[in-house]
Amino acid sequence: MSAPQGQIDPPLRGVERAMRLAAIVAFGLAAVGALIPNSVGRASEVAVVAFIVAVPLLRVLVLGIHWLRLGDRRFAGVALGLLLIVAAGSIIAAQ
């Protein structure tokens, strides 16, 4: 089930649509944050920042799982390492 030697993996099904949807959601949250004052706007501003940070991390997770299923443990390990580095940085920043 792995790609032949020297070929790039085909695009994952659904990722492009998910990225478009994520861009629309981020734009909507940013618009609400910019146009609505008080706590609702502030909550939307915080949500858009968290969303913009979370989407690429989720994409790395999906790719890591994909590579693991293909048997490419090296790329899956790199994806896991990246996620661990981000998690460690988040823990350090929270303290």
> At residue 67, what is the residue type?
W
In degrees, rounded to 5, the angle at the alpha carbon of residue 93 between the alpha carbons of residues 87 and 94 is 90
User: pTM for the complete prediction?
Assistant: 0.77
Nearest CA among 84, 91, 66, 87 for reference residue 76 = 66
Is pLDDT of 19 > 80? yes
DSSP designation for 79? H
Q: For residue range 30-87, list pLDDT tens digits in order.
A: 999 999 989 999 999 999 999 999 999 999 999 999 999 988 999 999 999 999 999 9
Residues 6 or more apart whose Cβ sits within 8 Å of residue 80: 64
How is residue 72 annotated by DSSP? -
pLDDT at site 77: 96
Using CA atoms, how far apart are residues 77 and 63, in angstroms rounded to an integer?
A: 11
Structure confidence at residue 55 (pLDDT): 94
Q: Is the pLDDT of residue 1 over 90?
A: no
